[in-house]
Structure 1
Amino acid sequence: MVNTDFKIISANRAFRDRMAGITGRAKDKLADADYPADLLAIWNAYYRQAMEGNSFKIIWTDTKDGNPVYEEVSFNPVFDQQDNVSAISCFSRDITEARIDRERILRQNQQLKKIAWIQSHGVRSHLANIMGLVQLLTATDMPGEEFLNMLSMLKTSADQLNQVIFDIMTQADNHDDIAD
């Protein structure tokens, strides 16, 4: 909890431990000078917005041990009996796992869209060719040379269809997250 001067008036142990880890100082010894000026300016802007009576949430991105960390931070004004903002209550929760899962799902969806496009466009045209050639071959009596020519076209279309199916499988195999 932060007062109207943006000074911490209450904090849980997790917050105190985290600030000690960031600054190397205990919570009761912290001063604005312990934080980078640009970081302090960002958080003071959030506090000012909440002091105007606005409740809102942000997604704060940081790194820990070289890995991205995502937190959802909510800012909630605390009103006194005269309906004036007397403090700001801030809550933070780690959403890293949910954010990483969301990004993985978005990548999977993109991959699935590529596969669906290949299937709907690549497979259908070659399958239509094969079906047409089979219908011609079974419906007519044609001389041997024409028959062999049609058979050659049928094989070409089947090979092309096989390549499209191979491409689909390659797309799926190249994206390890699809199977997850």
Structure 2
Amino acid sequence: MNTHSPIEQMIAMLEHSHVFMYMIIDQKGHYRYINQKMSTITGWDRSMIGSRRYEEQIHYADVDFLRQQVHQALQHPGEKFSVIARYLIDEHQHTIQWEVCSSKDEEGEEQIQAMGVLLSGDPLDDFSASRYLHQFNEYLDGVSDGFFALDRNWIFLKVNRFFESVTGLSRQEMIGRSFWDFFPDTEDQPYAAAMRKAFDLEETITFEQPWPPDHHFAVSATPSKEGIICYFIDISLQKKQQLELLANEIKLKAILDSTTDINILISADLRVLNFNRTADLLSKEYFNAQLFIGADFNKYVPKELGHYFREHFERALAGEKLTTERPVALLNGDVIWFEFLYYPVYSEAGDMLGVAMNITNIDARKKAEMKLLQQYDRMREIAYLQSHEARAPLSNILGLINVLMLYTEKTNDPEIVQVLELLNVSASRLDTVIQKIVSNTRHE
């Protein structure tokens, strides 16, 4: 009865294989095992293999996709993922096609197993080469990204199915013919300059290529000894979202620029992140200062407002929304009242971006309010004079009337009696009015 684990059985079966390479990688990306075939190809000492990471000596153009497939394998245990990687060892290049999957080790930890075959670098028999080339072509046709390869004379060597669907051309039409037969070598097309630059500099060039009416591609052109390989992915949706975002940004800026209020966005470290047209114009007019992105906002705060600004800014950073009114002395000696609104600004992810300040000129309103207060104070003063200054002589008049009323009993003249009674009634009414004025003044 076989008591070996599946991993041990795989190691036993592939340890001395002449065709297949086999490796095991731990969760941290270090080799745990390579078989003799891989050790022969790479020249690595198997006793020292634990110190190596699986991305070492991989061609830089293949590293990201290799990492992606390893990550996918860890996320989907039991599923198999294919990847082709070029190993650069002692100035030689070995191209290996791997099939990777994840499993658990004896301690229950996830690990990566990979079985591979050599596509180039060592001689292969014709049958194996043909079989692996067929698998490679099937792989290229199965991916949802575009691919084509040219020789150093710009002749098509290989294209995949996605490239056929985008161009509307079949591979039979393209293979063996020049790239420029189908795609014009003009300055207005990004691919022309980018691909020639990749050839000239012998380095990978990435660029964007619009493809009306439905596509927009991100392209990577990588030179090799044989020619140039181009991979491209469709980023039409991302470009559409970018354009929509840009359109919304332009609309928002137009709205902010059309207002008479000053609007400034300031980072937590007091750097200017954005500002509207009014802020730019008034900073020049009022303070003879030029606003610019990245400027230290402390330099634009008048000294007499420094304490108030820092207090309100810190509170806004803590999440408060605050409003305050302050007079500001300008360079020309004028004093203008402004309303300052501070409020925190967050990203869609909820991260603090900074504090937005909305500053409104309220000078006309404040001066109207102060004028009203002055008029009110004047009216109170008039009321005081009317009540207190008139009260003393009225008291004298009331006293005299009371004395004269004593003589009505000693006279028989009805006209005198009537005059005294009328004087008494009028004085009493005036006294009532003055008392109301005094009472209202006290309440206010």
With structure 1 as the length reference, what TM-score do the two structures score? 0.63
Whole-Å separation in 1 of the counterparts to 2:370 and 2:305: 29
Aligned to 1:118: 385
Whole-Å separation in 2 of the counterparts to 1:113 and 1:24: 45
Displacement of 1:98 after TM fit?
1.4
Whole-Å separation in 2 of the counterparts to 1:33 and 1:107: 36
Aligned to 2:341: 74
Q: Is the deviation greater in 25-34 or in 101-110?
A: 25-34
Residue type at the aligned position of 1:52: A
Aligned to 1:6: 270
Aligned to 1:59: 325
Residue type at the aligned position of 2:272: I
Displacement of 1:10 after TM fit?
1.5
Instruction: Extract structure 1 runs of 4+ deviating beyond 6 A.
Output: none
SS of the residue corresponding to residue 129 of structure 1 reads helix
Residue type at the aligned position of 2:356: S
Whole-Å separation in 2 of the counterparts to 1:130 and 1:107: 34
Please give the residue correspondences for 1:86-125 in structure 2 after superposition, counting only pairs within 5 Å.
86-125=353-392
The verdict on how the C-alpha distance between 1:107 and 1:37 changes in structure 2, with shifts beyond 3 A counting, is: closer
Please give the per-residue CA displacement for 1:6-42, whole angstroms capped at 9, x wherever unaligned: 2212211110112233244353584458547946954
Whole-Å separation in 1 of the counterparts to 2:386 and 2:299: 58
Whole-Å separation in 2 of the counterparts to 1:72 and 1:119: 39
The verdict on how the C-alpha distance between 1:93 and 1:36 changes in structure 2, with shifts beyond 3 A counting, is: closer
Asked if the contact 2:272–2:295 (Cα under 8 Å) also holds between the matched residues in 1, the reply is: no
Asked if the contact 1:23–1:35 (Cα under 8 Å) also holds between the matched residues in 2, the reply is: no
Displacement of 1:81 after TM fit?
3.7
Aligned to 1:16: 280
CA RMSD of aligned residues (A): 3.0
Q: Is the deviation greater in 33-42 or in 54-63?
A: 33-42
Aligned to 1:27: 292
The verdict on how the C-alpha distance between 1:47 and 1:108 changes in structure 2, with shifts beyond 3 A counting, is: same
Please give the per-residue CA displacement for 1:91-113, whole angstroms capped at 9, x wherever unaligned: 11111111112222222222222
Asked if the contact 1:72–1:95 (Cα under 8 Å) also holds between the matched residues in 2, the reply is: yes
The verdict on how the C-alpha distance between 1:68 and 1:32 changes in structure 2, with shifts beyond 3 A counting, is: closer
The verdict on how the C-alpha distance between 1:60 and 1:67 changes in structure 2, with shifts beyond 3 A counting, is: same
Whole-Å separation in 2 of the counterparts to 1:77 and 1:131: 68
Residue type at the aligned position of 2:322: F
Residue type at the aligned position of 1:106: L
Whole-Å separation in 2 of the counterparts to 1:80 and 1:58: 25
The verdict on how the C-alpha distance between 1:12 and 1:37 changes in structure 2, with shifts beyond 3 A counting, is: closer
The verdict on how the C-alpha distance between 1:67 and 1:130 changes in structure 2, with shifts beyond 3 A counting, is: same
Asked if the contact 2:270–2:298 (Cα under 8 Å) also holds between the matched residues in 1, the reply is: no
Whole-Å separation in 2 of the counterparts to 1:32 and 1:107: 37
Asked if the contact 1:3–1:9 (Cα under 8 Å) also holds between the matched residues in 2, the reply is: yes
Whole-Å separation in 2 of the counterparts to 1:32 and 1:102: 31
Whole-Å separation in 1 of the counterparts to 2:360 and 2:279: 11
Structure 2: unaligned runs, 5 residues or longer: 1-264, 412-444
SS of the residue corresponding to residue 66 of structure 1 reads coil
Residue type at the aligned position of 1:27: F
Aligned length: 142
Whole-Å separation in 2 of the counterparts to 1:33 and 1:54: 21
Residue type at the aligned position of 2:292: K
Whole-Å separation in 2 of the counterparts to 1:38 and 1:62: 10
Asked if the contact 1:6–1:47 (Cα under 8 Å) also holds between the matched residues in 2, the reply is: no
Please give the per-residue CA displacement for 1:108-157, whole angstroms capped at 9, x wherever unaligned: 22222222222222212311321332454465259xxxxxxxxxxxxxxx
SS of the residue corresponding to residue 27 of structure 1 reads coil
Whole-Å separation in 1 of the counterparts to 2:393 and 2:317: 65
Query: Which protein has the bigger helix share?
Result: 1
Please give the per-residue CA displacement for 1:49-74, whole angstroms capped at 9, x wherever unaligned: 21111110122321344332010010
The verdict on how the C-alpha distance between 1:39 and 1:19 changes in structure 2, with shifts beyond 3 A counting, is: farther
SS of the residue corresponding to residue 10 of structure 1 reads strand
Residue type at the aligned position of 2:353: S
Residue type at the aligned position of 1:67: D
Asked if the contact 1:52–1:85 (Cα under 8 Å) also holds between the matched residues in 2, the reply is: no
